[in-house]
Homo-oligomer: A and B are copies of this chain.
Amino acid sequence: MSLDLLDTPAAIIDVPRMDHNIALMQQHMRTLGVHFRPHVKTTKCVEVVRAQIAAGAKGITVSTLKEAEAFFAAGVVDILYAVGIDPSKLKRAMALKQKGCDLKLVVDNPAAALAVGEFVREQGVAFEVWIEVDTDGHRSGITPEEESLLEVGRILRDADVKIGGVMTHAGSSYELNTPDALEALAEQERAGCVRAAQRLRDIGLACEGVSVGSTPTALAARHLEGVTEVRAGVYVLFDLVMRNVGVCRFDDIALSVLTTVIGHQADKGWAILDAGWMAMSRDRGTSKQDRDFGYGQPCTLDGTPIAGYLLSGANQEHGILSPIDIDDGSTGSAAVSDTVDIRDRFPIGTKLRILPNHACATGAQFPEYHALDAEGELTVWSRFHGW
């Protein structure tokens, strides 16, 4: 099966680009002297994770127990479940531990630590718990200087629960777009997490692991003193948000949605595509960035961005491709002329590939990827769905 014969819409992974992204990140981690634990929530795909592990990744990060179960079944043992544990999920987590999965849980508050402690006492399961640290005010975690950091540590120690380490995620890096700002946030993330570990050690608690990461800070970090491992997810495919953040180029984006032109509104300059928001997702992550790509950047079938056009709108199964008036130079050519008839430019049946705003969200709309290798051959790679 070749690309032009594939049913549309379809999610295409450009395997050479993906391999390049994986190699680049792994090399950067080697240079920094830390382990790398990729976050597999981006793809939820066994073939992708095998490529990450083959390149040198040590363990994986997951966002759901379903991912943990599926990847353990596929042979991955060392798994960090990086969302604060809901006590009612402990039984399901225990089942994984009992099968031999080295599942690590995360807590960021005394109530959850107490619940884990009580569960461990009742069930005798040897959970390893990591404490989530908040280094940028983005979401979850305990700030390094907070008293409750030590309180959580003591609760776990008193319940004989192994503390694996501390972990943080500087998710606010997605809001930045200069190398200096990214490097500064990477240092803030590192320093805050190392400081939290030190405070726990200062009261006599074991805290071996220091885990940091987001794709932008991982790539921007210059040194990671005191850090033992880095986590990142979207780097494996990249997307338009990451392009705007400044950590990849168009040519690094390994995910695209294959689509077909099914209609036009010539007066408005619209081509109607069979990729709407069900295919692209509703993610509009570039809407607050310097360059807004609408629902995505159209490319030719060979993956070359088409200057002057974007996916300006989306209904469930209809996408609207339209010209943009202003040329910002990024795609290297002039704005679309008013004299172009959209029906001639993109006739019915034209196949295009759309680069997505957010690879994690777009991938989740599809039951499978079509992996496109260097020879143009396609292979189906399935992905998980649900919890």
Contact = CB atoms under 8 A, between A and B. Distances in A.
Nearest to A268: B137
B263 A140 contact: yes
A386 interface: yes
A366 interface: yes
A239 interface: no
A5 to B, nearest CB: 8
Contact of A140 (B279, B318, B348, B364): B318
B139 A315 contact: yes
A347 to B, nearest CB: 7
A34 interface: no
B41 A348 contact: no
B83 A349 contact: no
A92 B272 contact: no
Interface residues of A, number: 61
B263 A317 contact: no
Nearest to A386: B367
Given A139-B272, A281-B282, A282-B281, A262 B83 contact: yes
Contacts of A86: 8, 260, 262, 274, 349
A115 interface: yes
A365 interface: yes
By secondary structure, the A interface counts as loop
Interface stretch (A52-60, A104-112, A186-194): A104-112
22 contacts: A7-B88, A7-B89, A7-B387, A10-B387, A83-B274, A86-B260, A108-B263, A111-B347, A112-B263, A112-B348, A115-B348, A139-B318, A140-B318, A171-B315, A277-B283, A279-B387, A282-B283, A282-B361, A284-B284, A364-B365, A366-B386, A367-B386
Q: Report which residue of A108, A279, A315 has the largest number of chain B beta carbons within 10 angstroms of its beta carbon.
A: A315
A222 interface: no
Pairs of residues from A and B, 8 with the lowest C-beta to C-beta distance, nearest first: A282-B282, A111-B348, A367-B386, A84-B262, A282-B283, A63-B317, A86-B260, A84-B263
Contacts of A88: 5, 7-8, 260, 349
Nearest to A174: B315
A150 B143 CA distance: 68
Given A84-B262, A86-B262, A278 B364 contact: yes
Contacts of A268: 137
Interface in A307-351: 315-318, 320, 343, 347-349
Nearest to A108: B263
A360 interface: yes
